Amino acid sequence: MSEGFFSGFISIIGRPNVGKSTLLNQLVGTKVAITSEKSQTTRNRITGVLTKDNAQMIFIDTPGIHKPKTKLGEYMVGSAMASTRGVDLILYIVDASAEVGPGEYYNLNLLKNIPTKIFLIINKVDLVPKSKIAQLIHLYIEEFDFAEVIPLSALTGDNIDVLQRLIIDYLPEGPKYYPDDMVTDKPEWFIISEIIREKILEATRDEIPHSTAVQVETMEERENDLIYISATIFVERNSQKGIIVGKGGRKLKEIGIRARNEMEELLGTDIYLDLWVKLKKDWRDRHGILNQLGYSPKD
């Protein structure tokens, strides 16, 4: 352990679509989690690492806490709540532009059973007047004794530096868990599959909500530093397969081009991306398939 060096694990939790993944990417300084206007985009706990001269912060992005309707949903909520155990700090994020409803009060009651220090992060302050921010702060501190309250914009980066400094103030002295240049502990194949899933969400809009999963089958280096990647997109119904493939395969080609461009920027080399679409009926409610796709509970 280095004297005067602080390190620890910080869980990022909140309802769906409040900006958890956007905040993680902003804190780390690069994209490690996919983002989307659609809720419940994050399915696995994703770890991002930020190393400074005097500290290392290991952030855990989580699925949104919501009332689950499928076994996949149960896994996602279980994963989010499990991330609050054994961490040094919790960032609870709320959306300043959204109304405070029963779901938020339900989550605040859940927080009361957690002994860890919790920051309230009021996100998307760029979308509301300052008077509303003051009202929200008053409302939330009456409901829960937060260690700190930080209004910010994960999209613009406003107040991110303040949040980083406060996090370090609350971390214990500890070791450097990861190398300085590491920004995530997720393997490349996982990031690749998430990029493809993000491009599906972008390209299909409301036609395909969350009934798709992506599995990387092959990832290998070939001649002239070309990386060959083969991935399968799973859907629950034939109609969804038709939407993703599109007329004459145009939609699938669009998804592939968008995904390949981002992969090449990420990996710094040429990519040959081979995409396939397959039907796995009702996969979100089948434990065996969820296991296969990496959504089995680990806690």
- CATH number of the structural domain spanning residue 251: 3.30.300.20
- Measured from the Cβ of residue 106, the count of other Cβ atoms closer than 10 Å reads 13
164 plus 75 within the same structural domain: yes
Q: Which residues on neighbouring strands pair with residue 249, listed in sequence order?
A: none
Please identify, among 170, 205, 239, the residue that sits at the C-terminal boundary of a domain.
Answer: 170
Q: How far is CA 162 from each of CA 55, 144, 283, rounded to the nearest angstrom? A: 15, 21, 43
CATH code (residue 153): 3.40.50.300
pTM of the model: 0.66
Domain, as residue range, for 19: 6-170
Residue with tokens 């989010």: 80
Lowest mean pLDDT among 46-60, 131-145, 193-207, 219-233: 193-207
231 plus 139 within the same structural domain: no
Q: 213, 221, 180: which is closest to 291 by C-alpha? A: 213
Q: Which residues on neighbouring strands pair with residue 10, listed in sequence order?
A: 59, 89
Establish if 153 belongs to a structural domain.
yes
Establish if 213 belongs to a structural domain.
yes
Angle formed at CA 179 by CA 189 and CA 19, multiple of 5 degrees: 60
Confidence of residue 2 (pLDDT cuts 50, 70, 90): very low
Establish if 152 belongs to a structural domain.
yes
Q: pLDDT tens digit string along 192-219? A: 888 898 889 888 866 565 678 888 899 8
Contact call for residues 152 and 158 (beta carbons, < 8 A): yes
Query: Strands, E, within the chain: which ranges?
Result: 6-14, 46-51, 55-61, 89-95, 118-123, 148-151, 213-221, 227-235, 271-279
Domain total in the chain:
2
